[in-house]
Structure 1
Amino acid sequence: MIDGGTARVSGSEHEGARKAAEEPAYLHGFGNEHSSQAVPGALPEGRNSPQRAPLGLYAEQLSGTAFTEPRAHNRRSWLYRIRPSAAHPAFTRVGNGGLRTAPFAETVPDPNRLRWNPLPQPPAGTDFLAGLWTLGGNGDATQRTGVAVHLYHATASMDRVFGNADGELLIVPEQGGLLLRTEFGLLRAEPGEVALIPRGVRFRVELTDTARDGGRGPAARGYVCENYGAPFRLPDLGPIGANGLANPRDFRAPVAAFEDVEGPVEVVSKYCGNLWRAEYDHSPLDVVAWHGNLVPYVYDLRRFNVIGSISYDHPDPSIFTVLTSPSDTPGLAGVDFVVFAPRWLVGEDTFRPPYFHRNVMSEYMGLIEGAYDAKAEGFVPGGGSLHNMMSAHGPDRETFDRASAAELRPQKVDDGLAFMFETRWPITLTEQAAAADHLQQGYDDVWRGLERHFRPLR
């Protein structure tokens, strides 16, 4: 059990306390049964729902999986809060802005290789929610299958609270840090880290000062994977053994911290693809204590323990899987989250960049920093590329020529950090992505000039 930090604010104290840059404390481990309390004695002992919860709190269970799913897959937490989540007025519809949800039917699935520059600058005062922009996705949120790919570009902290009933959100900052105030406590996610907010968990996103928008103030930019399917879990390691890839101890969950706010608070809920709002008379971030294994967390991608070949050939990119959302077919993921982290290349008589291939899976790739070793130019931080099911792709001509002639001495790849959302179904674009001004024209040209080298033996 952990006694966490207390964030009790009320009335006029709320604004200043909310904007203070607290340094979060963390619990460590993935899928653990954690316990945390911001006030000693807030957690009940020996039972989950006593007749009278300690300190006058309300006991409430948050279930991220069905009650009867196998224990190894079951996700739930008990929350002890100042008011139950049921204490709110009716929600009303609001506009969705740039946010879209599966099923995606605005365009037809596109077999072409596509690449985008970073999102353009948003208007001043754009918060994380208003700055979300959907590129595309697949499946059906109402059937809890599939995935959506979003990007965000924000210039202001949120004054409202957001929760997503449609899926969990994997947030990948590329520019500017985020302070996430969740029902469970505080998380800080900087570029090079990822944060995951489980389905239904309410949170607020505040910008930190690690990036500034041309001197005008904090700014943040990045990517979001909205996973409608089974919650992300660590992949099985198979022949790798007991250790490697993302180590469970490196995932950090928040300790309990809460807001005791009396006054109007706007709460926005994403439900079956649409945004709904209600004005609460209190902050829903009022959980004083909690225990369970359904928790938000943050993970530093640079801690990924890369596994690779020490003899020959380039292994399949599945060895770079950080998290996976399994489907009903073993080994076929609803979505995998893959990172191309710093690593050594030592293969003998091997073409070391990613090989040319066509894949039954669909791949959206983004770049957090530096350069990607399969593309010499055009693929920039904040941008992204989409190679849908069975579309042929691989290194560009310059990369191919350079790698084919390189001296094969040990090489450290540490000048870039890229990732991939890989999914079992084609990603269908939104109209706004298909017609975006920042969609690159002529992406196919990167493979132009790959010459014929065939020389039949005589």
Structure 2
Amino acid sequence: MARSHDVSLPRIEGRSSRQAHADLPEGTFERELGREGFFGPATMMYHTHPPTGWTSWSGPLRPRAFDLAAIGDLGPGVWDAPAILHNAHVRMRFWRLAGDMDHLARNADGDELLFVHSGAGHLYCDYGHLEFGTGDYILLPRSTMWRIEAARPVELLLFEATGGALRTPDRGLVGRHALYDEAVLDTPAIDEAFKAQQGEREWRVVIRRRGELSCVVYPFNPLDAVGWHGDLVPVRLNVRDIRPLSSHRYHLPPSAHTTWVGSRFVICTFVPRPFETDPAAIKVPFFHNNDDYDEAVFYHSGDFFSRDNIHPGMVTLHPCGFTHGPHPQALKGMYKPRNAMTNEYAVMLDARDALDVGEAAKAVEFDGYAESWKTAGKVAAPAVE
């Protein structure tokens, strides 16, 4: 991130706006060429054609989409959950659970973040008992022992901070209570439910370290704590407790919606927010070359206004190296959206290092996604009304 006392001195050439994402020259489409995930040097380019107006794709670099809802067997245990996207610093996996885990899991490779795509249940861990439901994030510090009892079938998106930790973002100028007040974070309780699951029967703990599994057997339930104090603890955050930043005169970049920060990656959450009201401000995600990061978005629920033919449970991957942005249909609402607010919930992974695609994801890939920006003819830039 740039230091706050650095002075930037942008130059202007030809027809241009003096303010990014607003007051575009008539008949143009804006493209941001940026570094360091919207925090580094950037230039706004103004084009007479949509920067995604390609006619064909060849080669391995392309926008990709995967339908995780179409994956069949995801394995009986959480360590069987297939990798969807991964690199040396982060792993995204997907898993379903219909009943109760018959063992404890322990990830010694990094912090684990669970996102509950559907279902509800109870999580038991070293620290106590935590109820959860759809839209919950559960952050588990590295090497936490845990298991789930599903009250309703659960679908989980899991992120591993391989070799590292997850933390909350620096709130900067907006202060520590922006996005969400930390008072909304829930922690496990040593309550009656937690005490009731303790006992002397045998329990297995399956530990993952350096990608390999080991199993430790106890003649009792090792979740037998009677108390704790400290500030290293699992937390739960529901997406409906996030109060997004918004600007009525300027379309904020995705980085404004950062929820968790890892080593060389961030996880952002898109939740309903008002559209910009300034007539000259664009209301759709701007075209951009975020050429230091790969961008993956998991679509949780709602109306994904900037994408066509995307439904909950899908993941899109936009690797760095080409321009990405809204589909042609979304451009019709560039200045005048259909509604006053967005209506979507989505989770974005922005990774500083290239993401590899897992075999399970390849098996459910939508092969025509790269071609979905095609149009029958030239797309004219909407006029400001």
CA contact (8 A) 2:106 2:143 kept: yes
Written as runs of structure 1 = structure 2, the 5 A alignment for 1:199-218 is 199-209=142-152
Q: Does 1:231 align with 2:169?
A: no
Contact 2:118 / 2:135 at 8 angstroms: preserved in 1?
Answer: no
**CA deviation profile, 1:164-213 (whole Å, cap 9, x unmatched):** 0001111111121132111101112211111111110000111113xxxx
Query: In 2, distance between residues paired with 1:304 and 1:392?
Result: 29
2:154 match = 220
Q: Residues 260-339 of structure 1 correspond to what in structure 2 (within 5 A)?
A: 260-311=198-249, 313-325=250-262, 327=263, 334-339=264-269
Contact 2:68–2:361 (CA under 8 A) maintained in structure 1: no
Between Structure 1 and Structure 2, how many residues are aligned?
317
Q: CA deviation at 1:224?
A: 0.8
The verdict on how the C-alpha distance between 1:123 and 1:324 changes in structure 2, with shifts beyond 3 A counting, is closer
| Corresponding residue of 2:26 | none
Letter in 1 for 2:308: A
Q: Shift in Å at residue 234 of structure 1? A: 1.8
List per-residue Cα deviations over 1:121-160 (Å, max 9, x = no partner): 6459x54516511112112xxxxxx111111122332011
Q: In structure 1, what is the Cα distance between the partners aligned to 2:320 and 2:224?
A: 44
1:223-262 superposed matches below 5 A: 223-256=157-190, 257-258=194-195, 259-262=197-200
Q: What is the SS of the residue equivalent to 1:234?
A: coil
Task: Note if 1:362 corresponds to 2:294.
Answer: yes
Q: Does 1:152 align with 2:89?
A: no
Name the structure, 1 or 2, with higher relative contact order (CA <8 Å, separation 6+): 2
Pairing 1:133–2:63 present: no
Q: Give 1:447's aligned residue.
A: 373
Q: Distance in 2 between matches of 1:357 and 1:305?
A: 25
In the aligned structure 2, how far is the partner of 1:238 from the partner of 1:454? Answer: 38
CA positional deviation for 1:303 = 1.3
Q: Secondary structure at the match of 1:445?
A: helix
2:348 pairs with 1:420? yes
Distance of 2:181 and 2:145 partners within structure 1: 27
1:375 is the counterpart of 2:314:
no
Q: Could you tell me how far 1:445 is from its partner in structure 2?
A: 2.0
Q: Is the 8 A contact 2:251 2:276 kept in 1?
A: no
Report the secondary structure of 2:287's partner residue.
Answer: coil
Q: How far off its partner does 1:426 sit?
A: 1.0
- What is the root-mean-square deviation of aligned Cα atoms in Å? 2.4
SS of structure 2 residue aligned to 1:399: helix
Q: Distance in 2 between matches of 1:391 and 1:201?
A: 39
**How far did residue 430 of structure 1 move?**
2.5
Question: Alpha carbons of 1:123 and 1:187: their partners in 2 closer, same or farther (altered >3 Å)?
Answer: same
Aligned amino acid, residue 350 of structure 2: E
Q: Please list every run of 5 or more consecutive structure 2 residues that lacks an aligned counterpart in the other structure.
A: 1-58
**Which residue of 2 is the match for residue 15 of structure 1?**
none
Per the alignment, residue 112 of structure 2 pairs with 169
Equivalent-residue separation in structure 2 for 1:395 and 1:230 (angstroms): 33
Tell me the amino acid that sits aligned with residue 340 of structure 1.
Answer: F
Q: Does structure 1 residue 433 correspond to structure 2 residue 370?
A: no
- 2:372 alignment partner, SS class: helix
CA, structure 1 residues 303+262, in 2 after alignment: closer, same or farther (shift >3 Å)?
A: same
CA–CA separation in structure 2 for the residues paired with 1:121 and 1:428 = 18
The amino acid that maps onto 2:175 is G
TM-score, normalised to structure 2, is 0.76
Cα distance in 2 for residues equivalent to 1:130 and 1:409: 43
Query: What is the CA distance between 1:372 and its match in structure 2?
Result: 1.6
CA contact (8 A) 2:86 2:355 kept: yes
Partner letter of residue 449 of structure 1? T
What is residue 111 of structure 1 aligned with on the other side?
61
Percent of residue pairs identical:
24
Deviation at 1:220, TM superposition (A): 1.6
**Cα deviation 1:191-245 (Å, max 9, x = unaligned):** 1111111110000111113xxxxxxxxx221311111254222211222234311
* Letter paired with 1:171: L
Residues of 2 paired with 1:410 and 1:398: CA distance? 15
Distance (whole Å) between structure 1 residues aligned to residue 68 and residue 337 of structure 2: 34
Cα deviation 1:52-82 (Å, max 9, x = unaligned): xxxxxxxxxxxxxxxxxxxxxxxxxxxxxxx
What is the letter of the counterpart of residue 135 of structure 2?
A: G
Q: Judging changes above 3 Å, is the alpha-carbon distance between structure 1 residues 454 and 150 closer, same or farther for their aligned structure 2 residues?
A: same
Decide whether aligned partners of structure 1 residues 364 and 128 sit closer, same or farther in structure 2, where only a CA change above 3 A counts: farther
Measure, in 1, the Cα distance between the counterparts of 2:168 and 2:376: 39
For each residue in 1:293-313, what CA deviation from the matched residue of structure 2 results, as whole angstroms up to 9, or x when unmatched? 1111110111112111122x3
Cα shift at 1:281: 1.1
Q: Give unmatched runs, 5+ long, in structure 1.
A: 1-108, 140-145, 210-218, 328-333
Is this contact kept in 2: 1:222–1:382, CA < 8 A? no
For residues 91 and 337 of structure 2, what CA distance do their matches in structure 1 show?
Answer: 40
CA distance in 1, matches of 2:252, 2:341: 17
